[in-house]
Amino acid sequence: MNKSDKIALIFPPFGLSQGNLESASFLFGPLGVCLPWYMDGPTGQGGNINSSTGSILRPPEELKPPEDFPKLVREYLAWMEEHADRSALSFLSALTGTNEPEDTRWQIQKILREGSAPETSESIKNDRLKWHLILHLAVRLEQERREAENTLRESANQGSPLKDALGEEAESPDIMKDISPSLIQPVAERGLLMHICEAWLGLFGKLLQKETTLVTFHGEIYSFVNSLFEETVFEFNVIQELPRASFSLGSPLSPTHRKAGKEGKEDLTKKLGSVLYELKNELHYKEGRMQEKITELVHSLQKMLPPGENSHFIRVEMCSLPDIRGSHLSRNQAALHGFSGKTLVFLREGTENGERTLNQGT
C-alpha cells in the first residue's frame, strides 16, 4: 500500500463496477480503489482495473488476515442465510459491539458460543480480522439490498400481473405501485455506518494525506459522514456550515467523452482541481467565486457533447470536511479524526426521467 496525496480514493468498496470507476476517473484522474484482502475487484477486466482508471490498493501486509479468512467469511454468510429470521444487521452489531438492545446482542452472542454459527475466539477481537469481516459482510448485505431494489423496481414497472387477465378496461389495484425500493432495509443503521467507516479507516487510514479526495458512490455513507461533521461543528461552533458545491455533467460514459484526448482530460481535471481547492480552503470560500468556477467546469465538459447526448448525466456533490481534530473529540470518534480536512465527493447517475446512484445497475 503506497501513500499518495494526489489520487482520489474510493470509499467504501460498495457497488464497484468498471462503469462508475471510469466516470470517477474521468473527473478526478487515476483512482485508488481500496479493497480489503480477499475481496474481488470490480466486474469486468477479470476483476482488475484498467491502468488508465487507477489501481487496486490493499491494506498493509501486517493487517492481512490468515489464509483461511475466506472460509470464515463463507461460514458467517451461511449462518446469516440460515438464520434469515434474525436481523443480519443485528448480527453485525453484535460483532462490532454496537449499542443494540442487550437482549438482542446477548442472544446472538449466545448462538455464536453454542456453535449454531461459526465459533468465536480471541482472534475475532483482533482488529485486523474484525475490520475485514465488517467490510466483507457489509458489502454482501449491500449487494443483496441492491438486488432486492432492482427486483422491486422491475416488478413495479411491469405493473399488476392481473391486468391482462381482467382486461384493459378493468381497474384493479396495483399493489406493486405502492412498494418503494426505499422500504428495503439499508446497508446499515447509524451505528453500523460508523463501524464501516472505522473499519475502512483502520485498514486504509495511512493512505489519507492532506490533499486526499474521497469518492463514494453510496448516498448513505455520504450523508452519514456529512452529518457527523455537521453535528460536531454546530456543537463546538467551529464554522457556521460545511462548504459544499454540487453540479450536473453529461455522462463521461458517452462515446464522445470516451474519445476525448489526453490533453483535454488533463485540462478538465485541472479545472476540477481548482474547485476542490476552494472547497478545501474554507477560509477563502466565497459563494460567487465557487459558482463561477463550477459554471466554467460544466461549460467545458458540455462542449464535448454533441446535441442530444446530454440527456444522460452525472450529479456531483462535494463537501469540504473541516479539520476538527482536537482535545474536544473523544477517542471513539475515529471517523472524525480520520476524515478531518478531507474532501468528500458523492457521484450519482441520472437521466431526464430521474436519478439513480452510479452503483445501481452499472
| Lowest mean pLDDT, pick from 1-15, 35-49, 61-75, 171-185 | 171-185
Q: Give the closest residue to 228 by CA, choosing from 202, 266, 197, 199.
A: 197
Provide the pLDDT confidence category of residue 11 given band limits of 50, 70 and 90: very high
| Lowest mean pLDDT, pick from 19-23, 227-231, 310-314 | 310-314
Per-residue pLDDT reduced to its tens digit, 262-281? 666 677 777 777 777 766 66
Strands, E, within 112-243: which ranges? 213-216
Provide the pLDDT confidence category of residue 121 given band limits of 50, 70 and 90: very low
Is the pLDDT score of 222 beyond 90?
yes
- Give the pLDDT confidence score for residue 108 in this predicted structure: 44
Provide the pLDDT confidence category of residue 180 given band limits of 50, 70 and 90: very low
- What residues are paired with 8 via a beta bridge? 31, 213
Q: Report which DSSP code applies to 329.
A: S
Is the pLDDT score of 35 beyond 80?
yes
Q: How many CB atoms lie within 10 A of CB 54?
A: 22
**Residue for grid cell 469540504:** 320
Q: Report which DSSP code applies to 126.
A: S
DSSP 274-314: HHHHHHH-GGG--HHHHHHHHHHHHHHHHTTSPTTGGGEEE
Which grid cell sits at 95? Answer: 460483532
Mean pLDDT of 290-294: 72
What are the residue boundaries of the structural domains of the chain, listed by start?
80-130+141-183, 247-320
Is the pLDDT score of 152 beyond 70?
yes
| Lowest mean pLDDT, pick from 67-71, 124-128, 196-200 | 124-128
Give the integer Cα–Cα distance in Å for 198 and 98: 12
- Give the pLDDT confidence score for residue 40 in this predicted structure: 86
Q: How far is CA 117 from CA 67, 77, 112, 113, 192, in A?
A: 20, 10, 5, 8, 21
Provide the pLDDT confidence category of residue 345 given band limits of 50, 70 and 90: very high
When comparing pLDDT for 279 and 225, which is higher?
225
